[in-house]
């Protein structure tokens, strides 16, 4: 190895990956006076919240909705700590859900939403259920704000947490081990099949699971989130750009196209080696890459741990997405839509698609009179493995045509509108561009058996190795990922 491959500086922290978790942790640590280097395998920041361009259009890579920005929530805390104010718009309604020719409007206003839901479904007495959902959501955010080291690592930790913390109600602990189905039955909503389907498809967006297995605490937070849905102008990466600018102001450094291929513990901390053969020495490492990837780049006991965790959590989803620009002439003002389909989407194991439109006045994402569209749905990554090139292209075309047909059924006013850059992405595409193992996205599904308390902790048992991202507590979604960064930062600075 030549001298050019050696880096003699010893960083306080090397951060692997510049997604919301990695960049947030990096900026907070740099603000606290540490020397911090981010190693990013891609050419831009963002990870699963990054972007790509086609002429005058900017498309989100994965995540499209922003929430958790209130003062007691993770993004609100992060923005306050870094003194940044992203340009975003609270949406009302937060979402529209389409069932054939019928549309359910998911109002942000709680009372309007309950009235809407009671008048849409057969079940007319929903207020107690929805009030409970919002109560749980509020209690959990308050609890997470005041308890920094989670999840507990032992029964003793759990006892201390319940006994000595401000754990709001025993019901919240119960809600980690009981499914959302329990609440549906408790409030007399379990037999309303259309309502249950609505709940299940909403939970797939947020918990990656359905009411039969998703614990009711994270489920409640997932069902409440459209009440605080924000649209970030310029795309999901724009708030993160402000975080990155603060990181640079605090003296942080980032190196692009440096895919980490080896993480080895030594006397000084860690030696981090990249695909280019460059090596960096760090006293501490914060990894923003999934546990499945860490199992491939670590050694010894650390590798054994991540291999064990990877085998435990092998039920993650992949995604199939479509991106295109459409000449809408400002006709669509609600950004987020969910379309329930009559037949399961081919090769996708899903009964709905999620559609995101850029706001008509967001001329960063699309020229005037046009909007960008991102459509996504769940898929089993196994459906896309070991296909011949011909079969792969044929399968992508079948799914693309199915989704576009469903899109045209709902948005009849856009049926004849010109579409530009209709680009389809499968789990294979995500694996290629984001380097995530098998193209897994959305993190680890919440379930009763593999609940929040079983997720890997960001504070590992390996000295000076920390984890952030969607495969550690508290799981998937930008607010959860940022919370993982806040927890690690708070643990480090005390």
State pLDDT tens for residues 40-58: 999 999 999 999 999 999 9
Handedness of CA 387, 392, 396, 398 (dihedral sign): negative
| Residues 412 and 373 placed together within one structural domain of the fold | yes
Same domain (yes/no): 340, 416 = yes
Indicate whether 143 and 192 sit together in one domain: yes
Query: Between the CA of residue 181 and those of 125, 186, 202, 213, 291, what are the distances in Å?
Result: 17, 8, 14, 8, 30
Q: Last residue of some domain: 194, 211, 231? A: 231
Residue 296 has pLDDT above 70, yes or no: yes
d(CA 113, CA 124): 13
CA distance 398 to 400: 6
266 and 121 share a domain? no
**Domain with 300 in it:** 3-51+235-314+450-493
- 389 inside domain: yes
Claim to verify: residue 131 and residue 174 sit in the same structural domain: yes
Whether residue 83 lies inside any domain: the answer is no
The residue behind tokens 């359905």 is 210
Q: What pLDDT is stored for residue 217 in this prediction?
A: 93
Total tally of structural domains belonging to the chain: 3
* pLDDT tens readout for residues 232-270: 999 999 999 999 999 999 999 999 999 999 999 999 999
Overall average pLDDT of the 2-29 stretch: 86
Residues 6 or more apart whose Cβ sits within 8 Å of residue 251: 30, 35, 36
Statement to judge: residues 258 and 176 lie in one domain: no
Instruction: Quick: pLDDT tens for 22-41.
Output: 999 999 999 999 999 999 99
Strands 465-467 and 279-287: parallel
Q: Are 92 and 109 in contact (CB under 8 A)?
A: yes
458, 414: one domain: no
The answer on 417 and 322 residing in a single domain is yes
Decide if 310 is inside a domain. yes
Q: Is residue 370 in a domain?
A: yes
78 in a structural domain:
no
pTM of the model: 0.94
- HSE-up of residue 254 (Cα within 13 Å, Cβ side): 27
Are 241 and 206 within one domain? no
């Amino acid at each position: 190895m030549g001298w050019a491959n050696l880096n003699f500086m010893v960083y306080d922290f090397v951060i692997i990956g510049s997604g919301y978790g990695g960049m947030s942790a990096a900026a907070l640590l740099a603000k606290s006076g540490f020397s911090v280097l981010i190693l990013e395998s891609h050419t831009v920041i963002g990870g699963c919240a990054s972007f790509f361009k086609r002429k005058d259009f900017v498309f989100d890579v994965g995540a499209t909705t922003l929430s958790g920005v209130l003062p007691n929530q993770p993004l609100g805390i992060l923005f306050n700590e870094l003194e940044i104010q992203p340009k975003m718009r609270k949406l009302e309604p937060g979402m529209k859900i389409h069932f054939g020719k019928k549309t359910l409007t998911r109002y942000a206003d709680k009372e309007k939403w309950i009235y809407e839901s009671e008048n849409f479904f057969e079940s007319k007495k929903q207020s107690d259920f929805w009030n409970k959902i919002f109560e749980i959501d509020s209690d959990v955010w308050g609890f997470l704000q005041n308890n920094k080291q989670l999840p507990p690592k032992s029964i003793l930790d759990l006892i201390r947490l319940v006994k000595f913390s401000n754990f709001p109600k025993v019901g919240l602990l119960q809600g980690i081990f009981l499914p959302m189905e329990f609440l549906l039955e408790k409030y007399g909503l379990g037999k309303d099949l259309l309502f249950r389907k609505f709940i299940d498809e909403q939970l797939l967006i947020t918990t990656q699971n359905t009411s039969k297995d998703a614990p009711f605490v994270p489920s409640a937070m997932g069902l409440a989130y459209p009440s605080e849905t924000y649209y970030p102008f310029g795309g999901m990466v724009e708030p993160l750009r402000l975080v990155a600018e603060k990181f640079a102001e605090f003296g942080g450094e980032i190196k692009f196209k440096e895919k980490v291929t080896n993480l080895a513990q030594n006397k000084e901390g860690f030696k981090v080696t990249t695909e280019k053969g460059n090596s960096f020495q760090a006293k501490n490492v914060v990894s923003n890459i999934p546990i499945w990837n860490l199992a491939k780049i670590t050694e010894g006991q650390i590798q054994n741990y991540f291999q064990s965790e990877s085998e435990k959590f092998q039920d993650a989803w992949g995604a199939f997405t479509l991106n295109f620009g459409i000449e809408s002439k400002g006709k669509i003002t609600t950004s987020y839509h969910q379309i329930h389909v009559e037949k399961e989407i081919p090769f996708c194991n899903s009964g709905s698609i999620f559609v995101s439109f850029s706001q008509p006045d967001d001329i960063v994402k699309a020229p005037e009179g046009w909007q960008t569209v991102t459509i996504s749905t769940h898929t089993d990554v196994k459906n896309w493995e070991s296909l011949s090139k011909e079969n792969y292209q044929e399968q992508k075309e079948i799914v693309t045509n199915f989704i576009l047909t469903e899109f045209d059924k709902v948005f009849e006013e856009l049926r004849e509108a010109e579409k530009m850059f209709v680009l389809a992405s499968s789990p294979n595409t995500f694996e290629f561009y984001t380097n995530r193992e098998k193209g897994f996205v959305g993190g680890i599904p919440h379930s009763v058996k593999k609940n929040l308390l079983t997720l890997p902790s960001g504070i590992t048992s390996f000295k000076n190795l920390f984890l952030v991202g969607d495969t550690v507590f508290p799981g998937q979604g930008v607010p959860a990922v940022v919370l993982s960064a806040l927890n690690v930062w708070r643990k480090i600075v005390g």
